[in-house]
Structure 1
Amino acid sequence: MRPEPIGIGRGMFGQVIRLRLTYSQRLPGDPVSLVLKTPAGSAGNRAQAIAFDMYTREACFYRELAPTLRLSVPRCYFARVDPDTGEAILVLEDLGRLQSGDQVGGLDASRARTAVTRLAAAHAQWWDAEALRRFSWLPSLDSPVMRRLERLYGRQWPAFIDAYGAHLPAGSAQLGARVAGCVDEVLVRLSRPPATLVHGDFRADNLYFAARRDDDAVVVADWQVVSRGRAAFDVAYLLCQSMTSDVRRRHEWALLRSWHATLVACGVTGYSFGDALADYSVGLLLAVVYAVVGATLDRGDERGIALARAQAARTFTAALDSSQPLE
C-alpha cells in the first residue's frame, strides 16, 4: 500500500490521502486505490469541526443515509467515530477517474446546471419528510450547534474585514455588519417547513464530473455539514461561491428555474418559484456567514488563500445583488 496526499488547498476540516493498493490475489471488482479521510491537521480547524459535530455528521451520513440517497456519492467502505473525541475516520471510493470542479476558476453554466438538477432529486426525496428527524445526529439549521455561528461570526468579522476587505465590492462592510445582528434569524428562516436534506457545503471543489461533456453524471463528496433545512440554501451556496460573478449573473435565473422545475418533476408540490427565490435570497445571507467564518481558518497553501478570496468576493457580490431585505 502506497499513500499519496491529495486535496491540498481544497478543504479545511479534513486530510485526504489516496491509498494505492497491492494484492497477493486481486479479485474482480477489487479497487486499485481508496481514499482515507481523517480530521484536519490544523488544531484550530479540527477544534471548529468538532464543535460543529462535522466528523460525526459525515460518518453517520455515509452509514445511514448515503445508501438510499437519489444522488451519486462516494462509496464508503468504512466509517468510525470516536465518541470521546468526536473525530472520525473514513475509507471512501477514490474518485480520481473523474474531474473535480475548480472553485477558484469557477464552474460554467452547463456544469452548474448538472449539479443543481442532480441535487434537486435528493432534495425532493426528503422534502418535508418527518422521517429525517429520526436521525439524531442530523441537526436542523437552527439547532443549538448551528446557532454557535452567530457568536463565531461576530468574533471573526473584524479579522475578516481586515484581511479581505480590499478584495470585496463596495457596500460589503455595511452588509457584513448588518448580517452580524441577524444570523439567528437567517437560520430560523432557513429551517421552517418544508425542510429537507441539505448538503451544506455544496461547492465546486466537492463535485466530481465525468470527463466527457456529454455525460451529465456528477458525484457529490464532503458531507461534513449535512443538515435539515430549506433546500435553496444549497443552490445559493453553489452559485454565489462556485461561479464567477459575471457568469452567475448571466445564468442565475435559468439555473434556479432548472432546479425548481426538477423539484416539481420529482413530485414536490406547494412550493412556488417565488418561494424558491425568497429562500435563495436568505440562503445568500447564510453563505455570507460561512464565507466570513471560513476565511479566517488555516487555509494551508496559496491555492487555499486564493479560494478564500474568491469565496469572499463572490459571496458578498451575490448578496449585494440580491434584493432580499435584512430584518
Structure 2
Amino acid sequence: MTAPLAPEALDAATLSVLLGSGAGSGPFDPEQELTFEQVEGAAHVWRVRPTPAVPRAGRPAPPNSLIVKFPPADDGVRAFKERLGLPAVEHALHGPDGVQGTALLRLPGLRGGGPAAAGVLVLDDMADGTLPPRPALSVADSERAVRALASFHARWWARIPDAWQWLPDEAAPARANFLVGTFGSAGLSALAEADWLPTEVRHGSARLAERAPALLRALSAPPLTVVHGDLHPANILFPADPAEPGIRVIDWEAATRSRGPVDLAFLIANSEADDDLELLDLYRRELAATVPGITADGLLSDYRRALLYYYLRRVALRAAYAGVPDDPAMRRVAAALVRHRAFDELDAL
C-alpha cells in the first residue's frame, strides 16, 4: 500500500502532479506559493490557498481556495475506513454520475484526484464557504443546516437510482459485520470502563450488541434516501454571505442509502440546541412540503434508532484502539438516548 502523503510535504508542483495534469497544467501555477489551513476537528481535511498571482496567458484564473483531503494519519481510523471501502464511495459520489446537490445543499464537485492508494482527494473551489467557528453548531446554524438537509433528503427520498448499487446501505454484510463484531467485542469491554456514561446507556449496551443486526436492517429498509453519514461541523461550510441560503458539505466517504434521521442524529450530536425535538419537527415540516406520508411518530421512531446507530458506530470506530470517546457530542447523544428512551426501540425490531 502506498503511504499517505503528509500534508506538510505538499507544495504547488506536487499538487499539480496529484491533480493528474502534470506540472504547469494544473489549477495552480507550479511557481505559486500555497498556504495550508487545517480544518478544525478533521485532521485529514485541509484548505489550500494560493498567493495572488496573475494567470498565465491562455490559462484560466486559478481557484481562490481548494479543500484537499488526505487519508487520516491515525492507523485505527485508516483501517476502519479501508475496511468499509469508504474512500471508493466518495470517489463514486463525486463522479460524473454521482449525487448532485440541490439549491440549498450543494455538494462540491471533484476538481481532481490523487493516487487512489494514497487516498488523496482534491475537491472544488471553496472560496465562497466559511467553516463554523466552534466545534458545535449554533442554534441558528443548526436550523439552517436542518432545512438544507431536509431539502437534499427530499430529492432522493424513495427514488435513489437503481444504478447506484455501489452506494451501500447500513446492512451491507462487510459494513454490518464489522460494526456489530467490533461493538460486541472491543466496544463492550471498553464501555465497562466508561463510568461517565449514564447507567441506562451502559446497561442497554449489551442489549444493543444483541439487536444491532436488526437495527441496521431497520435503518436500511425503505423509504431510503442518500445519507451523508458523518455530518459534523468540520464537514459543513456555510456561504460567506449570511443572507445566502443553504450549506455546502464535504467528506462524503461514509455516505449510504439509509433513513434520513441518521444524518439528523449526527447533526444534533454536534449542535448547541437545547431541544432536539424542535430540530426534528423542523426537519419533518420541511420534508412534508414535498414528501407525502411523513408522520411525527414515524420520524421520532427513526430518530431514536438513529441515535442508537450513532452510539454504536462511534464506539465501534474508537473502542478497539482509543477507548470510548468522551467528548461533548457523545455526551449529548448519551443524554438523548436516555431522554427519549431510545433503547426501548430495540424491543420493536
Correspondence 1:131-210 to 2 at 5 A: 131=161, 133-147=162-176, 148-158=178-188, 160-161=190-191, 165-210=194-239
Deviation at 1:44, TM superposition (A): 2.6
Q: Is 1:309 the counterpart of 2:327 in the alignment?
A: yes
Q: Which residue of 2 aligns with 1:89?
A: 120
Is the alpha carbon distance of 1:114 and 1:17 closer, same or farther for their aligned partners in structure 2, counting shifts above 3 Å? closer
Quick one: distance in 2 between partners of 1:198 and 1:120? 11
Structure with greater Cα Rg: 2
C-alpha spacing 1:269/1:203, structure 2 compared with 1 (3 Å): same
Q: 1:100, CA displacement in angstroms?
A: 1.8
1:282 to 275, 287, 305: 305
TM-score, normalised to structure 1's length?
0.83
**In 2, are the aligned partners of 1:207 and 1:221 still within 8 Å (CA)?**
yes
Q: Residue type matched to 1:11 in 2?
A: A
Cα deviation 1:46-68 (Å, max 9, x = unaligned):
12111111100111111145562
1:10 aligns with 2:41: yes
State the secondary structure of the residue aligned to 1:200. coil
Tell me the C-alpha RMSD between the 2 structures. Answer: 2.9
Secondary structure, aligned partner of 1:219: strand
42 and 211 in structure 1: CA distance in 2 versus 1, 3 angstrom threshold: same
Q: CA deviation at 1:187?
A: 0.7
**Any conservation in 2 of the 1:103–1:242 contact (CA below 8 Å)?**
no
Cα separation, 2, equivalents of 1:44 and 1:59: 21
Q: Kindly indicate whether structure 1 or structure 2 has the higher relative contact order, using CA contacts under 8 Å at least 6 residues apart.
A: 1
Q: 1:226 and 2:261 equivalent?
A: no
The 1:167–1:80 alpha-carbon spacing in structure 2 relative to 1, beyond 3 Å, is: same
2:270 is the counterpart of 1:242 = yes
Distance in 1 (CA, whole Å) between partners of 2:333 and 2:167 is 26
1:190 positional shift? 0.7
Q: Distance in 2 between matches of 1:56 and 1:23?
A: 36
Q: Distance in 2 between matches of 1:94 and 1:298?
A: 35
C-alpha separation between the residues in 2 aligned to 1:290 and 1:24?
46
CA positional deviation for 1:72: 1.1
Cα distance in structure 2, aligned partners of 1:62 and 1:171: 41
The aligned length equals: 309
- 2:315 pairs with 276, 280, 292, which one? 292
Identify unmatched segments of 5+ residues in structure 1: 300-304
| TM-score with structure 2 setting the length | 0.78
> Does residue 62 in structure 1 map to residue 94 in structure 2?
yes
What 5-or-longer segments of structure 2 have no aligned partner? 1-11, 13-32
